[in-house]
Structure 1
């Protein structure tokens, strides 16, 4: 009897484990697309969304309100994935922002991380509202053109998020003021989308070798 139990564990347990993990890969390998083919940023020719995994944010003119969120994002999201060249942070900034305040924040941030993949694009409030509205989310911009919510845009300029989130139902963006949401939800979702592209790259390489 003991032999049968041991044999059962040896043969059945690996099969159960395989089915469990295979099921997980099937269900969680891709982050849902919530909005397709977002327009490029036509007012800045140097920064493109196409072919980049982008965290898009809206930094209001009252940078004192939101400056601390950038440091949270650096620690929880950017720093763990900074080695990926195609991963970038793009913040739209109102033209009327205080330059000295912006320079101070970016200087302090630059002491902690290489800012070569961080972009702060100054533009008009009208253009900022246009980009934000194109995301087609239930959120609204603050009066100064800022938002605590940040968004994941994939290489095909699709908005990615969750369509079955346990707290919100559909999760379009991530609250940068909520450290727990960044650490638990957004970090996991960035991992998923990076893994998705790594798997696609491996498949393409394998196909070429055939």
Structure 2
């Protein structure tokens, strides 16, 4: 009896615990919608849009040098692990006039990883404010039309985030200056939303095959 008990404790219980938590992630691991219907990017020649894309959205502002560290943090911690997903993009909304600085930034980022899914769009000041305000967060742009925070937008143009964050309760964005926050929170949330869409795709494919 003692041997049986020891075997159960060592092998069976860990397996049951794993299946329980795995089931919990699959069934309940969805990132809450905080704002529905974020304003899409104005029509542009590059056809950049939120629609049908999982987007990490940022605003670097006029002072690109000041926010360059944010871009490198995002590149390594949030972009690099996921960039091979075709429906995933890192999108920075920039003021018109910062094109040359962004060309320099892209060259530096490209030395570290393929930047095919890094996107930059250049908009008028009021257009930038309109997109940011449509997120309906408790955050604001600075005087340079930038912010240290980045946001997760789903394929239906909804802002995703946390409603039970231990520090902020409702967490609209993630601070790109904090490697710890990108590592411990944002990376997990990006994984959740990518898994959500992968599971939905598998379900749709299975439904079609059963028809």
Q: If the length of structure 1 is used for normalisation, what is the TM-score?
A: 0.91
CA drift of 1:21 comes to: 3.3
Runs of 4+ in structure 1 off by over 3 angstroms are 6-17, 23-27
Q: If the length of structure 2 is used for normalisation, what is the TM-score?
A: 0.91
Secondary structure of 1:116's aligned partner: coil
In structure 2, what is the equivalent of residue 201 of structure 1? Answer: 201
In structure 2, what is the equivalent of residue 23 of structure 1? Answer: 24
In structure 2, what is the equivalent of residue 169 of structure 1? Answer: 169
User: Structure 1's 110 and 156: CA in aligned 2 closer, same or farther, altered over 3 A?
Assistant: same
* Unmatched runs of 5 consecutive residues or more in structure 2: none
Counterpart Cα distance in 2 of 1:185 and 1:133:
24
Q: What value does the CA root-mean-square deviation take over the aligned residues?
A: 1.8
Deviations 1:81-134 (A, max 9, x none): 11101110111111133x433221121112222222111111111000000000
Q: Count matched residues.
A: 208
User: Structure 1's 62 and 22: CA in aligned 2 closer, same or farther, altered over 3 A?
Assistant: same
Counterpart Cα distance in 2 of 1:5 and 1:47:
60
Counterpart Cα distance in 2 of 1:39 and 1:48:
10
In structure 2, what is the equivalent of residue 187 of structure 1? Answer: 187
CA drift of 1:16 comes to: 4.5
User: Structure 1's 203 and 142: CA in aligned 2 closer, same or farther, altered over 3 A?
Assistant: same
CA drift of 1:43 comes to: 3.8
In structure 2, what is the equivalent of residue 56 of structure 1? Answer: 57
Secondary structure of 1:80's aligned partner: coil
* Unmatched runs of 5 consecutive residues or more in structure 1: none
Secondary structure of 2:151's aligned partner: strand
In structure 2, what is the equivalent of residue 103 of structure 1? Answer: 103
